[in-house]
Homo-oligomer: A and B are copies of this chain.
Amino acid sequence: MEVPEQANKWLSQLSKANLKERLNRTFDRQVKLAVTGLSRSGKTVFITSLVHQLLHGLEGSHLPFFHIVSSGRLQGTKLMHHPDMHIPAFRYDPSIEQLCQESPLWPEPTSGLSQIRVAIRYQTDNALVKKVNPVNTLFVDIVDYPGEWLLDLPLLELSYEDWSMQIADMCQHEPRLSLSKDWREFMAQQDVTGQVTDETLRKASELYTEFLHRCKDRQYNMSLLQPGRFTMPGDLKGAPLLEFCPVLELPSGTTQAAESFFLIMKKRYESYKEHVVKKFYTEHFSSFDRQIVLVDMLRAFNIGHASFTDMREALNMVLRSFEYGKTGLMNKLFGLKIDRLLFAATKADHVTPNQLPNLERFLQQMLTQSYNDVIFEGVTTETLALSSVKCTQAAHTQFQGQKISCIKGVPLDSNQPIALFPGEVPTDIPLPEEWVDGRFNFVEFKPPRLTNGNGNRIPHIRLDRALEFLIGDKF
């Protein structure tokens, strides 16, 4: 029993926080859990609830499948100050306050990257470690970042020419065909090999950015928006590397002006990859240990076939990013640590409990559709349907003399609880012609009223399973 005390003393005397940081990682006492999802997939709600569940881990039986809790080995949890002070902190307090107030509200969505650290004290069950250090601490760093940034990673392997052809191809189908009309018409008038004015460059990139914004609009809910920073520029606003766009046709001849549209755009594209995408990769992505990707499938169902297939494309692109990360050049240069990847369909409480397996199977199908054969070396991938904050109750009603499952909750635009049959999640991906208007109409709900703020647990569905998969092996 002498050793740990000495070691602790020694640790506490280290003045350099980053040395301590490094030691934490060496002893496998830290895990970086990255949370992402396309816009409006519920990242903020997920992290808020996850942190809340962890902080109240000792108080109840709300995490049966999170083994460290259900086995009684959890000793305590605490929010910590993160040593990386230049990275925005995830706003847990205001979010939980909004969720737990008298008239609960969904917390404000985040933009950009933020992080929060939870320290978990636990009893080890490793016989060897137990002798030296019976109580250990795992620091869980939860990193929240926009899914759009993840969709940028494939650009690292794409030349400007290849990327342009991909976008040109996508713009041949609705709704992109209509939404890109202004940009395409402008492009059609340009000689991309000739000398170009600044005004033309600016106009082209402005029209392309507007096109991306329209795609992102709730009405269309497109997922695959590249480059990801164009719709969320932050401090880079006005930088030339955010002012480019693809070309619709590649220059055929070999001669072109030294400062042609094509060459300038290509240079900016490469600069974007260098300063934005690679920077994200090396400063953040390469240090993640675990990753969860949140997916709001119900909204895609509601909006229709195009939104759904676009989401499927985007998810498969995300999958490819990880595969690429493990085998590609970037990994060789900078390494990639992620070894567990969870795709989670959120809002599992918006369907009846008996539809949960369908929701999960459907997500699996979306991912395997184009990727049956890919083996992700060293990345264990899982799918799950979950609800970060359960805002409905299972109920029953009568339909043609039969008992039928339904759910009860307060719709987002109402103050009265209703019981409704939310619709069936299909077991197979519907054919294009089956996506008739109103085929799916999943309702959005208000958060439930919790009797008392922080002391109370937030109802959820399968957050414990997510936790077990993501960090359960670290204890």
7 new A-B pairs (CB below 8 Å) besides A86-B271, A93-B199, A93-B202? A79-B198, A85-B267, A85-B275, A86-B239, A86-B276, A88-B236, A91-B238
Q: Which residues of A211-259 have CB atoms within 8 Å of chain B's CB atoms? A: 234-241, 259
Determine the residue in chain B with the shortest Cβ distance to A112: B235
9 sampled A-B residue pairs with Cβ under 8 A: A79-B198, A81-B198, A85-B239, A85-B275, A86-B236, A88-B237, A89-B238, A93-B202, A235-B235
Flag whether A471 is at the interface (Cβ < 8 A).
no
In the complex, whether A264 has a CB less than 8 A from a CB of chain B is yes
| Chain B residue nearest to A259 in the complex (CB) | B81
Per the bound structure, the CA–CA distance linking A110 and B101 in Å amounts to 39
Proximity string of chain A (259-279) to chain B, C-beta cutoff 8 Å, 1 when within and 0 when not: 100001001100110011000
- Cβ–Cβ < 8 Å partners of A79 in chain B: 198
- 9 closest A-B pairs by beta carbon, nearest first, are A88-B238, A85-B271, A86-B275, A85-B241, A85-B240, A235-B235, A234-B235, A88-B239, A86-B241
User: Separation in Å of the A453 CB from the closest CB of chain B?
Assistant: 14
Least CB distance from A387 to B in Å reads 27
Would A81 and B237 count as touching, CB distance under 8 A?
Answer: no
Give me the interface of A with B, judged by CB distance under 8 Å: 79, 81-82, 85-89, 91, 93, 112, 114, 198-199, 202, 234-241, 259, 264, 267-268, 271-272, 275-276
Q: How far is the CA of A182 from the CA of B264 in the complex (A)?
A: 53
Instruction: Known contacts A86-B271, A271-B86; decide if A81 and B235 are in contact (CB<8 Å).
Output: no
Q: Cβ of A238 and Cβ of B85 under 8 Å apart?
A: no
Q: Which residues of B contact A259 (CB under 8 A)?
A: 81
Q: Which residues of B contact A268 (CB under 8 A)?
A: 85
Q: How far is the CA of A422 from the CA of B404 in the complex (A)?
A: 83
- Give Cα distance in the complex from A240 to B88, angstroms: 7
Q: A239 contacts which chain B residues (CB < 8 A)?
A: 85-89
Indicate if the CB atoms of B264 and A114 lie closer than 8 Å. no
| Residue in A85, A93, A234 whose Cβ sees the most chain B Cβ within 10 Å | A85
Bound CA–CA A236/B235 (angstroms) = 9
Shortest beta-carbon distance, A212 to chain B, in Å?
19
Check B198 against A93 for contact (C-beta < 8 Å): yes
Across the interface, which residues of B come within 8 angstroms of A112, CB to CB? 235
Residues of B within 8 A of A241 (CB): 85-86
B81 touches A240 (CB 8 A): yes
Whole-angstrom distance between the alpha carbons of A411 and B397 in the complex? 72
Cα-based distance from A89 to B112 in the complex (angstroms): 22
Give chain B residues whose Cβ lies under 8 Å from the Cβ of A91. 238
Residue of B with least CB distance to A199? B93
CB distance from A1 to the nearest CB of B (A): 23
Shortest distance in angstroms between A132's beta carbon and chain B's nearest beta carbon? Answer: 24
Contact status B114-A238, CB under 8 Å? yes
Q: In the assembly, what is the distance between CA of A89 and CA of B276, in Å?
A: 16
CB-CB nearest in chain B for A275: B86
Cβ distance A125 to chain B, nearest Cβ, rounded Å: 30
Closest residue to A88 on the B side, CB-wise? B238
**Residue of B whose beta carbon sits closest to that of A258:** B12
Residues of chain B with a CB closer than 8 A to A267's CB: 85
> Nearest chain-B residue to A244 (Cβ)?
B85
Which residues on the B side are within 8 Å of A272 (C-beta)?
85
Q: Which of B89, B235, B264, B271 contacts A240 (CB 8 A)?
A: B89
- B contact residues around A85 at 8 Å (CB): 239-241, 267-268, 271-272, 275
CA distance A241 to B87 in the complex (A): 8
